[in-house]
Amino acid sequence: MTKPIVFFDIDGTILNHDKVIPESTKKAISELQNKDIHVAIATGRAPFMFKELRDELNINTFVSLNGQYAEFEGETIHTHALHPEQLHQFAQRAKELDVPLVYLNNETMKASIETHPHIKEAMTSIRMHHPEVQLDFYHNRDIYQVLLFCEEHEESKLTDGFNDFNFIRWHEYSSDVLPIGGSKANGIQQMVNHLGFDMNNVIAFGDGLNDLEMIEKVGTGIAMGNAVQPLKKLANHITTNVDEDGILNGLKWAGLLK
């Protein structure tokens, strides 16, 4: 039997709601690695946002920025940037409507405004600071994801007409802006192709709306007990909450750990 590759989301999956890794999760991931089972991360975060976590768990393979940037053991194997002209038009509309944005690549992030309460609230929820301002950051460089900061009822006035982008809400005050077709599922597919694996041998754990395509596409999709309801409906299995040994119990259910 071919050994699987297991992908873990970060927030609400590896990290609990206090942004701490439960001890049972650390031990479970270490046991997988001792069995020579591939362990990887699939997250909406950019690589620079979870370097310490990768070091702590000894994980060097990841799909980040909701699938737009992927590395295998330190080698970049997939990138998918937002269309430059569409991004410029989107930035102009956001400026006209006085709506803040944050631009991300694999190395850093920059904001379109000096300070804003929506940015502060959303970034604080993932233990990140308000980024520095650089208005032209998206000029002449690949941008893999943009964070749009507004309430849900305000979003359509920003997003209407931008058919080359996907918009996925992750916070009361923020949505991810991704290239059309961009998702964790697509990033995982690129990783699987690179490794010569089959999607049937992929197991993935997640909890949020940005995990929907991933959980549906992989061979075995496991939703955390604290996952959103739409994800639970798609999952092959619903494990316990992140703080109730969710990853450990999910791996036991999948037959990877005893």
| Residue 19 contacts residue 126 (beta carbons within 8 Å) | yes
In a shared domain, residues 88 and 174? yes
Structural domain count, the chain: 2
pLDDT, one tens digit per residue, over 7-66 is 999 999 999 999 999 999 999 999 999 999 999 999 999 999 999 999 999 999 999 999
176 an active-site residue?
no
| Residue 25 contacts residue 14 (beta carbons within 8 Å) | yes
In a shared domain, residues 227 and 241? yes
In a shared domain, residues 14 and 62? yes
In a shared domain, residues 101 and 159? yes
In a shared domain, residues 190 and 175? no
Please give the C-alpha separations between residue 213 and each of 7, 127, 217, in angstroms, as whole numbers. 13, 26, 6
Q: Looking at residue 192, what is its pLDDT?
A: 96
Buried b / exposed e over 71-94, threshold 16 CB at 10 Å, is bbeeeebbebbbeeebbeebbebb
In a shared domain, residues 66 and 193? yes
* Residue 52 maps to a domain: yes
* Residue 64 maps to a domain: yes
In a shared domain, residues 53 and 99? no
In a shared domain, residues 96 and 208? no
In a shared domain, residues 187 and 244? yes
In a shared domain, residues 67 and 186? yes
Indicate if the pLDDT at residue 2 is higher than 80: no
Is the pTM higher than 0.85? The answer reads yes
| Residue 111 contacts residue 143 (beta carbons within 8 Å) | no
The packing angle between helices 246-253 and 23-34, to 10°, is: 40
Q: How far apart are CA 39 and CA 203, in angstroms?
A: 10
pLDDT, one tens digit per residue, over 166-179 is 999 999 999 999 99
- Look-up: residue for tokens 């359509």? 156
Boundary-marking domain end, from 179, 200, 232 = 179
Residues 6+ apart with CB under 8 A from 77: 70, 71, 190, 191, 194
Confidence of residue 149 (pLDDT cuts 50, 70, 90): very high
Both tokens assigned to 69: 């940037």
Domain harbouring 126, CATH code: 3.30.1240.10
Please give the C-alpha separations between residue 172 and each of 5, 66, 207, in angstroms, as whole numbers. 33, 18, 16
* Residue 35 maps to a domain: yes
Boundary-marking domain end, from 125, 153, 179 = 179
* Residue 48 maps to a domain: yes
Containing domain of residue 194, as a range? 5-79+182-253
Q: Which residues pair with 206 in a beta bridge?
A: 223
* Residue 90 maps to a domain: yes
In a shared domain, residues 188 and 136? no
* Residue 16 maps to a domain: yes
* Residue 51 maps to a domain: yes
Q: What is the mean pLDDT of residues 92-112?
A: 97
* Residue 258 maps to a domain: no
Catalytic residue among 9, 207, 211, 245: 9
Domain harbouring 26, CATH code: 3.40.50.1000
pLDDT, one tens digit per residue, over 54-84 is 999 999 999 999 999 999 999 999 999 999 9
In a shared domain, residues 74 and 91? no
Boundary-marking domain end, from 120, 155, 179 = 179
